Homo-oligomer: A and B are copies of this chain.
Amino acid sequence: MSLPKPKVTISDVARVAGVSSSAVSYALNDKPGVSAATRDKVLKVADSLGWRPNSAAKSLSDASTRSIGLVLTYDTAVLSVETYTMELIAGLSSELEKEGYSLTIRYASSQKSEMDVLRDWIATGGVDGVLLTNIELGDPRVDLFCDHPELPVLLLCDSSVAGGLPALSDDEQSSAHLLVDYCHELGHQRIARVAGPEALSHTFIRDNAFMEETAELNLQYSCLHSDYSPDGGRRCTDRLLSLPNPPTAIIYDNDIMALSAMRMAQELEMDIPGELSIIAWDDSFLCQVNMPSITALSRDVVGRGRASARALLDMIDGQTFESTTDVTSEIIFRDSSGPLIA
């Protein structure tokens, strides 16, 4: 139980080593301008004194914080059931760790307060880069960052809505086609979709892709928008099943809604998948472990987080980033989907 140690600074090291503070700085940063002997001595002294760079001083001096920012906007209840954000954080932080970067998280309860946080980061250099998710159509954050190219930003959204900003896209297009084609191959003629909020850009992208592909294949297609919640999923499923000619396959924009639909179907004693195929966009432990297990489109969200961090680090490093599209989505075939049993 030693005493609270006073912080040891570069000038302490300089004094003990008997050299100037600039010599110490050079030695510590492995830069030329210092002899090998001096460097060795400095390193030894720094180590014995337990010197660590002071991040605030470094930030002030070189205007970098060695951290990237993420704003959490969903309310706390949604964050608890959705694993997406946690996976993203896990991927981000694990990649950042390799460079000694940290992830700075801020919670914002409204769009306005999120904008405040972002403006603050831009104005003060509170972070070296920012990751933006859940981009909406006409999202003010896009305009904000278009106006401030000095702060690296990466959007997780389709490049068509990124306003020219760097974006890491999912190939929602092909994924939608993949799912529609799969239903078609199973022989389904009437398929439906319970989508996420209409304001979200990826919902919009998916909407278009589904309409396109179903038209192409001459399938009957209906789509209802909901809010990713269990209740929302139920309500939409109820409406769809009440149609005169109900769909025989329903695709849900998240696992939660798919699961609640599954519950409902079981309560109605429907045969899954004999009477109805249920498919989730976004795989999770939930889909895997449910009985019957739920067919799902799987994306590597953790990997996406890693790639995002990598891209941001590169941009901070001065490299220009070209928007890319992930094509790793695949359907995990499980028990909730199959051909109709007439």
Closest 3 CB pairs of A and B: A56-B59, A93-B107, A52-B123
**Contact at B90–A89, with CB atoms within 8 Å?**
no
Give which listed residue, B53, B119, B124, contacts A53 with CB less than 8 A: B124
- Copies of this chain, tallied across the complex: 2
- Tell me whether A76 and B87 are in contact in the complex, defined as CB-CB below 8 angstroms, given that A1-B147, A54-B125, A291-B266 are known contacts: yes
> A23 in the interface, Cβ–Cβ < 8 Å?
no
The answer to whether B86 touches A54 (Cβ under 8 A) is: no
B67 to A56, Cβ gap below 8 A? Answer: no
A50-B256 Cα distance, complex, nearest whole Å? 43
The stretch of A98-106, A153-161, A320-328 that contacts the partner chain: A98-106
Tell me, yes or no, whether A189 is within 8 Å of chain B by CB: no
A120 sits at the interface (CB 8 A): yes
Is A91 positioned at the interface, with any CB of B under 8 Å from its CB? yes
Q: Which of A77-85, A165-173, A199-207 forms contacts with chain B? A: A77-85
For the complex, what is the distance from the CA of A53 to the CA of B1, rounded to whole Å? Answer: 38
Ordered by A's residue number, 7 sampled pairs between the chains whose C-beta atoms are within 8 Å are: A2-B147, A52-B124, A55-B124, A55-B126, A56-B65, A97-B113, A260-B289
List the B residue with the shortest CB-CB distance to A289: B259
- With contact pairs A4-B149, A54-B124 given, residues A96 and B85 touching in the complex (Cβ less than 8 Å): no
Instruction: Name the B residues within 8 Å of A52 (CB-CB).
Output: 119-120, 123-124
- Given A285-B286, A290-B290; 17 other pairs, CB 8 A cutoff: A4-B149, A52-B119, A52-B120, A53-B124, A55-B126, A56-B60, A72-B90, A81-B83, A81-B285, A86-B89, A102-B104, A102-B105, A103-B104, A256-B285, A259-B289, A260-B289, A286-B289
A67: which B residues are within 8 A, CB to CB? 104
Interface SS of chain A: helix, strand, loop or mixed? Answer: helix
Residue A148 lies at the interface, judged by CB distance under 8 Å to chain B? yes
Q: Is there an interface contact between B93 and A105, defined as CB atoms closer than 8 Å?
A: yes
Decide if A7 is an interface residue (CB 8 Å cutoff).
yes
Given contacts A2-B147, A7-B125, A55-B124, contact A97 B93 (CB under 8 A): no
Residues in B neighbouring A290, C-beta threshold 8 A: 290
For window 1-57 of A, CB contacts with B under 8 Å fall at: 1-2, 4-5, 7-8, 50, 52-57
A44 to B76 CA separation, bound complex (whole angstroms)? 36
Q: Does A209 touch B at the CB level, under 8 Å?
A: no
Known: A56-B60, A87-B80, A263-B291. A148 touches B104 (CB 8 A): no
Q: Which of A277-319 contact B (CB under 8 A)?
A: 285-286, 289-291, 301-302
Say yes or no for A94: interface residue by CB 8 A criterion. yes
Contact across chains for A86 and B79 when beta carbons are under 8 A apart: yes
A108 at the interface (CB under 8 A from B): yes
Is the pair B81, A107 in contact by a Cβ cutoff of 8 Å?
no
Judge whether A109 is part of the interface by a CB distance below 8 angstroms.
Answer: yes
